[in-house]
């Protein structure tokens, strides 16, 4: 876990990854759910192994999601398709 101090404000960030099947994709809110966890997908999220954009994500795909846990939110940093 890393902590950063910006302008006197402490922000706690931890990085991790999870692998599983996409249970839900919410295009309006740009989120996906894997193992019951909802991940926010941003313009900074990277894609790999056959994925190139948010619209490529589909329920039932097996993926690995690298993410940061920030302020109670799971932010996807990279999403890659698994075999």
Q: Does residue 5 surpass a pLDDT of 70?
A: no
> Is 9 contained in some domain?
no
Q: Does residue 3 surpass a pLDDT of 70?
A: no
Helices (H), the chain: none
> Is 33 contained in some domain?
yes
Range of the domain at 55: 14-81
> Is 52 contained in some domain?
yes
Q: What is the CATH number of the domain that holds 42?
A: 2.40.50.320
> Is 23 contained in some domain?
yes
- The span from the CA of 81 to the CA of 74, in Å, is 19
> Is 44 contained in some domain?
yes
Q: Does residue 80 surpass a pLDDT of 80?
A: yes
DSSP state of 53: S
> Is 46 contained in some domain?
yes
- How many distinct structural domains can be found in the chain? 1
Average pLDDT over residues 38-55: 96
> Is 77 contained in some domain?
yes
> Is 3 contained in some domain?
no
Return the number of other C-beta atoms located less than 10 Å from residue 38's C-beta. 14
Strand, helix or coil at 56?
helix
Backbone torsions φ then ψ of 51, nearest 5 degrees: -105, 140
Give the CA dihedral 58, 60, 61, 65, nearest 10 degrees.
90
Q: What confidence category does residue 83 fall into, taking pLDDT thresholds of 50, 70 and 90? A: confident
Average pLDDT over residues 67-83: 95
């Amino acid at each position: 876990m890393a902590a950063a101090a910006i302008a006197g404000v402490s922000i706690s960030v931890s990085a991790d990854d999870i692998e599983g099947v996409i249970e839900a994709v919410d295009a309006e809110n740009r989120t996906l759910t894997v193992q019951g966890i909802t991940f926010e997908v941003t313009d900074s999220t990277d894609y790999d192994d056959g994925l190139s954009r948010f619209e490529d994500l589909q329920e039932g795909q097996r993926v690995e999601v690298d993410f940061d846990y920030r302020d109670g939110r799971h932010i996807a940093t990279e999403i890659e398709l698994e075999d």
